[in-house]
């Protein structure tokens, strides 16, 4: 009979074959996301620092989707297919069949729907396991309903795990529960799995039965306790939200301890994939997702949603939605601004209120202060884009580029019909429609000459308040040229 070996994590087995019917979703349960990662990716992120030689994910329901996630995010992980859902013991047997028969050491087994587990939890489990046949991660819950109970002998050693549906009233009163996270000696696990049956309420092969088998053969089984919140699994949308709130608090706490200011942590949602440097400030109602990064001294918020966006040192971003943008050093954005993919703001640049930008490069010190659309454009340093300017980049078939030089002044309400170039130091008159390139230093005027039709209101709107006001105005001139 194999004897226990040192508990180094030779292999990791993640159980991710279930459908998750209580999620009421077409998506496999382990692919639901929280804090920027899928449930199974959270689990694999916790196990990765253990540097196991083999990581096997057991797949079943929606296997193609789960395999695609693994290939994208965890290419070193392999999969084992559990075509029939015959229980956790069967799932582990399927996974072990993919590992070399001669493999020895310890194997970590855990579920793919436990996003709150930490690497520290797993390292503590591994440390405590040395010399044991099995070690269980447990927690004490005030309400243990639904969890397998840890049954201990009089000397406090672990005797068995009893599932809720199979437990006696006395066993249901126990508060120490099984997290579903185990470290096993590989050889002993293989041996015990061949002995488990399915004579239980569900007619399944329970992995928990391995514990009773190991104890009956005289092997040592240990338990390591962790915080109750760390073992919480996700079985429905409510539990998904609970996990999200726990992760939000955990992530925000970590950033605050590293030197980031959060004015209202409860309203700041930061993905686990986001990076923030010390001395950054996060104001209320901020959502940072994807690969967003925030540099030192930047201030974000209030009311921002930034995805895959880079914010450089000292930048200020207020009431802004951004996706795939780069916001330069000491630049300012907002309020009510929309930065779309490909937008790059240089040092000290400004994208002001009610401005939308897409695939646009705004040079150092350049400004789009308000009420403008800038698409497919390059704008030189020091240039000012007047209010209500539109970069007319789409002809109904293709997008075209506008190039604006350095220290240009674009008058308010200018339409720049691409493709067009405005040279360095040039001006455009307010209200112009620019369809031809403007030479450096030139003033472009592209609007009809104003003409005044005298007495039009008095003649066309007689008796109106406007006509009465006009007649009473000392500067009024009628169509004959005579004053009021």
Q: Position of tokens 């030479």?
A: 439
Q: Residues 129, 230, 361, 370: which is the catalytic one?
A: 370
DSSP letter string, 50-109: G--SEEEEEEBTBHHHHHHHHHHH-TT-EEEE--S---HHHHHHHHHTTS-TT--SEEEE
Maximum CA extent, the chain: 119
Q: 162 near 144, Cβ under 8 Å?
A: no
The CA distance from 281 to 318, in Å, is: 12
3-state secondary structure of 214: helix
d(CA 183, CA 131): 11
Q: Please state, in angstroms and rounded to a whole number, the distance separating the CA atoms of residues 111 and 11.
A: 14
- How far is Cα 361 from Cα 343, in angstroms, rounded to an integer? 6
Q: Measured at the alpha carbon of residue 274, what is the angle toward residues 272 and 275, in degrees to the nearest 5? A: 120
Q: How, if at all, do strands 420-422 and 37-38 pair?
A: unpaired
370 part of the active site: yes
Name, in order, each residue with C-beta under 8 angstroms of 230's C-beta and a sequence gap of 6 or more: 116, 117, 118, 121, 139, 179
- CA–centroid distance for 8 within its chain: 32
Active site residues: 370
């Amino acid at each position: 009979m194999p004897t226990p070996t040192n508990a180094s994590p030779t292999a990791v087995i993640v159980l991710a074959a279930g459908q998750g019917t209580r999620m009421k979703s077409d998506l496999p349960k382990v692919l639901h996301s929280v804090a920027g990662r899928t449930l199974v990716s959270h689990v694999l992120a916790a196990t990765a620092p253990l540097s196991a030689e083999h990581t096997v994910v057991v797949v079943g329901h929606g296997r193609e989707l789960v395999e695609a996630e693994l290939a994208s995010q965890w290419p070193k992980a392999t999969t084992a297919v559990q075509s029939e859902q015959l229980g956790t013991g069967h799932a582990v047997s399927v996974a072990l069949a993919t590992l070399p028969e001669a493999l020895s050491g310890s194997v970590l087994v855990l579920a793919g729907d436990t996003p709150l587990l930490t690497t520290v939890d797993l390292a503590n489990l591994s440390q405590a396991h040395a010399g044991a046949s099995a070690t269980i991660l447990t927690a004490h819950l005030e309400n243990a309903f639904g969890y397998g109970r840890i049954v201990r002998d009089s000397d406090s050693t672990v005797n068995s795990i009893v599932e809720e549906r199979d437990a006696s009233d006395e066993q249901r009163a126990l508060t120490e529960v099984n997290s579903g996270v185990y470290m096993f000696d590989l050889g002993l696990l293989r041996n015990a799995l061949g002995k488990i049956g399915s004579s239980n309420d569900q007619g399944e092969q329970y992995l928990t039965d391995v514990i009773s088998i190991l104890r009956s053969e005289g092997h040592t089984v240990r338990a390591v306790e962790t915080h109750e919140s760390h073992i919480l699994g996700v079985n429905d949308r409510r539990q998904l939200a609970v996990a999200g709130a726990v992760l939000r608090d955990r992530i925000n706490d970590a950033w605050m301890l590293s030197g980031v200011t959060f004015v209202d942590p409860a309203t700041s949602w930061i993905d686990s994939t986001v990076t923030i440097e010390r001395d950054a400030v996060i104001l209320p109602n901020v959502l940072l997702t994807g690969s967003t990064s925030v540099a030192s001294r930047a201030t974000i918020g209030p009311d921002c949603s930034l995805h895959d966006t880079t914010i450089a040192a000292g930048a200020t971003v207020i009431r802004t939605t951004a996706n795939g943008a780069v916001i330069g050093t000491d630049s300012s954005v907002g309020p009510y601004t929309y930065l779309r993919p490909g937008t790059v703001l240089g040092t000290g640049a400004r994208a002001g209120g009610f401005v939308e930008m897409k695939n646009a490069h705004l040079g150092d010190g350049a400004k789009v202060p308000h009420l403008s659309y800038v698409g497919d454009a390059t704008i030189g340093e020091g240039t000012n884009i007047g209010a209500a300017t539109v970069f007319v980049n789409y002809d109904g078939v293709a997008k075209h580029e506008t190039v604006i030089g350095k220290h240009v002044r674009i008058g308010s309400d200018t339409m720049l019909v691409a493709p067009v170039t405005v040279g360095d130091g040039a001006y455009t008159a307010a209200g112009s429609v620019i369809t031809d390139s403007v030479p450096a230093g030139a003033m472009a005027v592209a609007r009809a000459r104003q003409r005044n039709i005298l007495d039009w209101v008095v003649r066309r709107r007689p008796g109106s308040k406007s006509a009465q006001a006009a007649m009473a105005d000392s500067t009024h001139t009628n169509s004959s040229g005579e004053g009021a």
